[in-house]
Structures are given as C-alpha cells and as structure tokens.
Amino acid sequence: MPKSVTVAYALWALGGPLGLHHIYLQRDSHALLWMVTLGGFGLGWVREFIRIPSYVAEANRDTERLKKHHQHHPLTLPPIGPVRFAGQVCVGIYFGTVALLALNTLSFFYLLILPLSVGAGVHLVSSVGQQTSDFKKTLTTCLITSPIFYGSTLSLVPVSVAASVTASKNRKYKPTQPKQDLPRLYYLGLAWLAFSAPVGYGIFHNTTATLYYLSDCLSALLDMFWFLPWLRNVLEYILLMPYRILCAMTGGGYYDEAWRRVLEILLKEYTEEEREALKILSLKEEATLEDITRSYRELVKTWHPDHNPSKEAESMFVNIHEAYQLLL
C-alpha cells in the first residue's frame, strides 16, 4: 500500500520526536534512533520537515527495481555523507555516556560494556535509510580501541570516531526484503527496553555519580581550550546556562551558596538504604554534607570502642562508618 505524504506529516507533527512517522514509513532504524534521542535531540526532528517527501518517495519506490540494481551492481557503495558520519560519532558518544553513567561499576565495563554501547550507537546511525554497515567490524574496532584509553574521562570520543570510520569504510546497501508489522514492532520494543533500562537505573540509583561525571567531562572539555581563554569562557557560559538558571531559581547568585542549594535540590531524593543511614546518623533528609560530616564526627567520638566500653559500641561504630560512607 503506497505511503501518504499527508499521513507522514501528521505523524511527524504528533509524535515526530518518538519516530512515529518513521515507523509508518518502515524506517525502523531511524525510528529507534529518534526514540532514544527524542528526535535527534529535537534538531533532527525539525530538519525532517523538508525531508519527509523524499522519505515517502523512498518508501514507495519499486522494490523489484532496487533488487535488480543491486544484482547488476553488487559492488556499488552508498555515498558518504558528513551528516551521517557526524551523527555516528555523536550517537556513539551518547550511547557510551549512558552506559558509563549507569554501568561503570562493573569490573569489565571498559573491556566489554563500553565498546558494545558505542558500537551499537554508531551502527544504529549507519543503518538509517537504505544503507547499513558491518556491525562485527564496527564492534571489533571498539573492542580494540577501548582498552587503549582505559579509564580516561574522554575515552568515548576516540572510540566513537574509530568506530565511525570503520562503519563508513564498510558501508553497504540493505538487502531488500518484505517487512511484517508485528515482528518489526516487537524488535523495536526490545531495542528500546535495552536502551531505557540502564537509563532508568542511572537516573534513580546513580544521581550523585551522574552529576559528578558530567562535571568532570565538562571540566575536561573546557580544559582543551586553555590556549584560547576567551573561547573557553564563551563555552563555559553556554554550557553552564542551565545551571545558572537553576541558581537563579533558588534565589541566590551564581557562586558557592547557590551551588550548594542547587546540589541539595538535585540530590534530595534518597534510596531506602540512604534513609536508613540518615537514621543511624540521627539526621533528616534535608541534611547537608556539612551536617552529615558533623554528626559522623560526634557519633564516632561517642561510640569508638576505645572510648566506649559497652558491648554494642563496636557494632554501632561500624554501622556509623558504613552509613557515612554511603551518604558521601
């Protein structure tokens, strides 16, 4: 059944950032990319306003004619596009960042999880439209490159660039075959769950680690422009704009006191273990880092086994120390 430009535009307007129009046009890789990036962070969704007619024409193209073209020109390679290459690098970094924020405590993270995440992001972009790439070669490049930059804050950049170069060198046209709706939606759902699970874990269980990692990345990025102080200041102003807005919302300036208020707002949600730790230290949920440290020092003096002869002193001292470490 031929695809309609009108329907495609309607779906683009209603659920474009979620890839509804791409699902309708059977551009599954593009749909998944939009689902996990909310329409290419909004920019790609806006850009597609002028590209939808070409997408519809591509979806309505004669499949048999494409098969014959590929049979008579098996070595023909798709054209290299700078936008696609840049997208591969950015999404590879994005996928790697999500994995780094959520799963970096795993012992084999840099050897397996990180390269797999970056490779998946690069391959997803390389598979948009009528072309794809060799995922095995892309993943192999990630597995080789990642250990070289083991533990580096900016390791995602060289790994993603190397994977993108490999994907571009091994680009090819997708095989033409009919697609059934139910299997397509099933696999799209599984892929989205595979991405959203670590995202959810990172948001609800690693809030503090996420903020500190983003801070380290921002600092490392700005340090790259040490030789151009004016450019560094401009980038710092732009990148910190969301934080400046939050600082203004707290009623303070842009400095120490406001920063502390912002962090307290962002980090005020506690897990059950953290709530229990607060009870051990005799603190409320709105306690600041200074309050936690002060209470810890006072309780340590009280319950230290060298100064407290009671039977429960040793176990209480251990609990206090563990609670303090958990809340840091």
| Domain extent at residue 110 | 82-173
Of 173, 198, 216, the residue that ends a domain is 173
Each residue's pLDDT tens digit, 172-222:
888 766 667 778 888 888 888 878 777 776 666 555 555 666 666 667 766
On whether both 125 and 43 belong to a single domain, the answer is: no
Residue 255: pLDDT over 50 = no
Higher pLDDT among residues 22 and 69, named by residue: 22
Residue 227 belongs to some domain of the structure? no
Collapsing DSSP states into helix, strand and coil, what is residue 173? strand
Each residue's pLDDT tens digit, 129-169:
888 899 999 999 999 998 888 877 788 899 999 999 999 99
Of 112, 139, 173, the residue that ends a domain is 173
Collapsing DSSP states into helix, strand and coil, what is residue 4? coil
- Residue at token pair 């070595």: 75
Residue 203 belongs to some domain of the structure? no
Residue 9 belongs to some domain of the structure? yes
Kindly state the average pLDDT of the residues 227-248. Answer: 69
Instruction: Give the residues across from 172 on adjacent strands.
Output: 132
pLDDT computed for residue 212 by the predictor:
61
158-197: buried (b, 16+ CB within 10 Å) or exposed (e) per residue?
ebbbbbbbbbbebbbbeeeeeeeeeeeeeebeebbeebee
Each residue's pLDDT tens digit, 15-41:
888 888 888 888 888 888 888 888 888
260-287: buried (b, 16+ CB within 10 Å) or exposed (e) per residue?
ebbeeeeeeebeeeeeebbebbebeeeb
On whether both 152 and 96 belong to a single domain, the answer is: yes
Higher pLDDT among residues 252 and 108, named by residue: 108
Residue 5: pLDDT over 80 = yes
Tally of domains within the chain: 3
